[in-house]
Chain A
Amino acid sequence: MIELKHLEKRFQIGDQTVHALDDVSLRIEQGEYISVMGPSGSGKSTLMNILGLLDRANSGDYMLDGINAGKLNEAERTRLRSEKIGFVFQSYHLVPRLTARENIELPMMLSGIAGKARKQKVDDVLAKLDLLDRAHHSPNQLSGGQRQRVAIGRAIVMKPSILLADEPTGNLDSKSGEGVTQLLESLNAEGITLMVVTHDSTLGARANRQLNMLDGRIV
């Protein structure tokens, strides 16, 4: 469960202060499917970064499953992030020199899980995402939809409780976009909290709950 109270995030650009998040309060239950929409610069990515513990708010509280995330130091946040949160980015962010399999394995490797335990989990994920025959391909040998599936595999391999997807279909044609969306929705059906930033209102409408942002506020 996520609870945000009076969250503020400001950026200083020269002598100008941008209110990327302006008094955001929000409560998200485990297993919800939420879409975040709004014009460019309205603070969607900023909200995702703070929820994903990649960034910190200037003020306000962020409780994640009963933990006050604002009070954690860098190492603790990193740990919590790798345990609870999976990211899917618009531009996939796969490591080009690693194979699909190794990319999916990366989060487990970074958190020091031993090789044996990793193999089984990666196999499971590859099977689930129908990527077994692509396991040893490098990202540039994969289509956009396949790359995003690998990225989703990497996001869920640590069995996080929340999946944050910032425009996951933004770089995809409608057909592969649809495949990726269905995959995310099926993961949500299994119980993961899913939060998707999108510019596509039909896509946004598929979520159980829609958040609209404007100038750093939820409206």
Chain B
Amino acid sequence: MLWRDIVTFIIHVLSRHRFRTLVLWIAIAIGVVAVNLLTALGEGAKFFILEEFNVLGRNTLITLPGKKETSGGMPPLTGESPRPLTLKDANAVSRLSGVRAVAPIVVGQLEASHAGKIRELLTIGTSRDFFSIRQLGVSQGQILPVLDLNKGEAVCVIGNSSRKELFSNKPALGQWIRLGDTRFRVIGVLKQGGTSFGFDMDDVIIIPVSNAQSLFNVEGLFRLFVEVQAYHQLDTIKGNIVELLKERHEGEEDITVISQDAMLSSVQDILETLTIAVAGIASISMLVAGVLIMNMMMITVSQRVKEIGLLKALGATSSSVRLLFLCEAGFIATVASLSGLLLSHVIILLANLYFVEVQFHSPWWAQSGSILLAVFFAVIFAWLPAQRASMLSPVEALQGKQQKEIA
């Protein structure tokens, strides 16, 4: 048989059995839509999260106390290390060639009060460079002044929500906030900015790092952000930092330096795995469609026994009968899955118009995979009915009988 004739024949059959065609169509399309929408959701979440991590520039290295145990996976985010990373270490790092800026970080939760109002605020002790590294700007006043890292000054920059909660509508600049037993003068208010890298920057109070150290009574730093002058130096400087701190820590390599790229890629790995898992779950719906195809095909074969007998009597070989049924399944799966893909695109488009912050998109592997899988399942599940049809004996089939043993 010619391919054109096969297609015409199949279209005749499918349009004759509209209900059956519709059910198969919907089942397959739903499978494809499920795979594409769920992966689009996963991808959307991935990009949303990666965007969050992206606030640090590519030129930034993050130094944290404690040695990362394995080469893969996430670094210890809350690692307690026996030997702390100190301000002296930070100073030494800032003197390395190629280092543009360093921002030591000490964080903690403290009660801040002003005129009888008390709020628990995330307190970040850091340096002026923190603002450039994190791309933070102020809407009022100024950022932290230039200071030696080990020198304190009783000034603070607060987030916008912190300002509202403590000062309502009154001016905040120049006012005093009590943190623990120390008073800090407000010299700046941060621009309203979202959450990033785990910290809600609207809800913070930023003070010089040495003040934070004495408030929290700690010597060790939580993090040390290092910005290099040029991206191509990143790896060299990373090595230099490790060397330097190893030397300063009596030859023991007890810190971890990671680049944003490395961090992104491990986060990306996790999210990728998540998306694939979700896609896998969605593929189960394809299996359901496959079983449906098998049942429907079985019913068609028994309904069309006479026709199969006739086709065989008129010159169709067993293999062309089998081919006809397999093509029928493959054809409807192709058409249905393509329309499912189209529908997914429409839904994703609408979702993207509606949720502007998150951009959903179905990756190419989910698109092509869902179609291939749909056609694959359809053909696999149609195999048994097609085989049964091809094995019918023409004489008995013409009489409307099913295959029996022939003596």
**Is B2's CB under 8 angstroms from A112's CB?**
yes
Is there an interface contact between A109 and B317, defined as CB atoms closer than 8 Å? no
Q: Is B318 interfacial (CB 8 A cutoff)?
A: yes
A95–B307 touching, CB < 8 Å: yes
Query: Looking at the complex, which of A33-41, A75-83, A188-196, A209-217 is the stretch in contact with chain B?
Result: A75-83
- In the complex formed, the residue of B with least CB distance to A158 is B315
A87 at the interface (CB under 8 A from B): yes
Q: Which of B1-54 contact A (CB under 8 A)?
A: 1-2, 4-5, 9, 12-13, 16
With contact pairs A10-B407, A58-B407 given, residues A106 and B2 touching in the complex (Cβ less than 8 Å) = no
Given contacts A54-B395, A74-B317, A78-B317, contact A93 B16 (CB under 8 A): no
Within 8 A of A (CB), among B359-407: 393-395, 398, 405, 407
Contacts of A58 in B (CB 8 A): 407
Q: A158 contacts which chain B residues (CB < 8 A)?
A: 315
Q: Is the CB of A110 within 8 A of B311?
A: yes
Contact residues in B for A109 (Cβ distance below 8 Å): 1-2, 5, 9
Query: Is A202 positioned at the interface, with any CB of B under 8 Å from its CB?
Result: no
Residue of B9, B313, B407 ringed by the most chain A CB atoms within 10 A: B313
Main secondary structure of the interface of A (DSSP, over half): mixed
State whether the Cβ of A12 lies closer than 8 Å to any Cβ in chain B.
Answer: yes
Judged by a CB distance under 8 angstroms, whether B316 is at the interface is yes
Size bin of chain A's contact surface: 20 to 34
Asked if B312 is at the interface of the complex by the 8 Å CB criterion, the answer is yes
Q: CA A107 – CA B9 in complex, angstroms? A: 13
B311: chain A residues within 8 A (beta carbon): 106, 110
Q: Is B302 an interface residue (CB 8 A)?
A: no
- For residue A43, give the distance in angstroms from its CB to the closest CB of chain B: 13
CB-defined contacts of B313 to chain A, threshold 8 Å: 52, 54, 81, 87, 93
Contact with A along B241-282 (1 / 0, CB 8 A): 000000000000000000000000000000000000000000
Complex CA gap A109/B1 in Å reads 6
- Contact residues of A between 3 and 32, Cβ < 8 Å to B: 10-12, 17
Chain B residue nearest in CB terms to A115: B4
A109 to B7, CA, bound (A): 12
Partner of A54, one of B12, B16, B307, B394: B394
- State whether the Cβ of A97 lies closer than 8 Å to any Cβ in chain B: yes
Which residue from B13, B16, B320, B405 sits with its C-beta under 8 Å from A110? B320
Residue B356 lies at the interface, judged by CB distance under 8 Å to chain A: no
Digit string of A58-85 for contact with B (CB within 8 Å is 1, else 0)?
1000000000000000110011011000
Q: How far is the CA of A180 from the CA of B63 in the complex (A)?
A: 97
A97-B12 in contact given A17-B407, A115-B4 (Cβ < 8 Å): yes
Minimal Cβ-Cβ distance residue in B for A49: B395
Query: Who on chain A is nearest to B17 by CB?
Result: A97
Q: Which of A54, A74, A79, A112 contacts B1 (CB 8 A)?
A: A112
Q: Give chain B residues whose Cβ lies under 8 Å from the Cβ of A10.
A: 407
B322 at the A interface (CB under 8 A): no
Interface pair A114/B314, CB less than 8 Å apart: no
* Any B CB within 8 A of the CB of A101: no
B396 — nearest CB in chain A belongs to which residue? A55
Tell me whether B238 is interfacial, beta carbon within 8 Å.
Answer: no
Closest B-chain residue to A87, C-beta based? B313
Q: Is B310 an interface residue (CB 8 A)?
A: yes
The answer to whether B398 and A107 touch across the interface, beta carbons within 8 angstroms, is no
CA A79 – CA B318 in complex, angstroms? 12
Cβ of B163 < 8 Å from any Cβ of A? no
> B223 interface residue, CB < 8 Å from A?
no
Q: How far is the CB of B388 from chain A (nearest CB, A)?
A: 16
Q: Contacts A49-B395, A55-B393: A11 and B407 contacting too (C-beta < 8 A)?
A: yes
Task: Answer whether A81 and B315 are a contact pair too, CB < 8 Å, given A10-B407, A95-B307.
Answer: yes
With the chains together, A109 CA to B312 CA distance in Å?
A: 12
* A12/B310 contact (C-beta < 8 A), A109-B5, A110-B320 known: no
Most buried by B among A52, A58, A78, A114: A78
A111 on the B face (CB < 8 A): yes
Query: A44 in the interface, Cβ–Cβ < 8 Å?
Result: no
Q: Is B128 an interface residue (CB 8 A)?
A: no
CA distance A89 to B306 in the complex (A): 12
Does A1 reach chain B (CB closer than 8 Å)?
no
Asked whether B315 lies within 8 Å of A78 as measured between CB atoms, the reply is yes
On chain B, the residues within 8 Å of A135 by CB distance are none
Interface, chain A (partner B; CB < 8 A): 10-12, 17, 49, 52, 54-55, 58, 74-75, 78-79, 81-82, 87, 89, 93, 95, 97-98, 106-107, 109-112, 114-115, 154, 158
Pairs across A and B, CB under 8 Å, 26 listed = A11-B407, A12-B405, A54-B395, A54-B398, A55-B393, A74-B318, A75-B317, A75-B318, A75-B319, A78-B316, A78-B317, A82-B314, A87-B314, A93-B313, A97-B12, A107-B314, A109-B1, A109-B9, A110-B311, A110-B315, A110-B320, A111-B1, A112-B2, A114-B2, A115-B5, A154-B314
Task: Name 11 extra pairs, CB < 8 A, besides A54-B395, A97-B16, A114-B2.
Answer: A54-B312, A55-B394, A58-B407, A74-B318, A93-B306, A107-B315, A109-B2, A110-B311, A110-B316, A111-B315, A154-B314
**Residues on B close to A: CB < 8 A?**
1-2, 4-5, 9, 12-13, 16, 306-307, 310-320, 393-395, 398, 405, 407
- A-B pairs with the 6 shortest C-beta distances? A82-B315, A12-B407, A97-B16, A110-B315, A107-B314, A110-B316
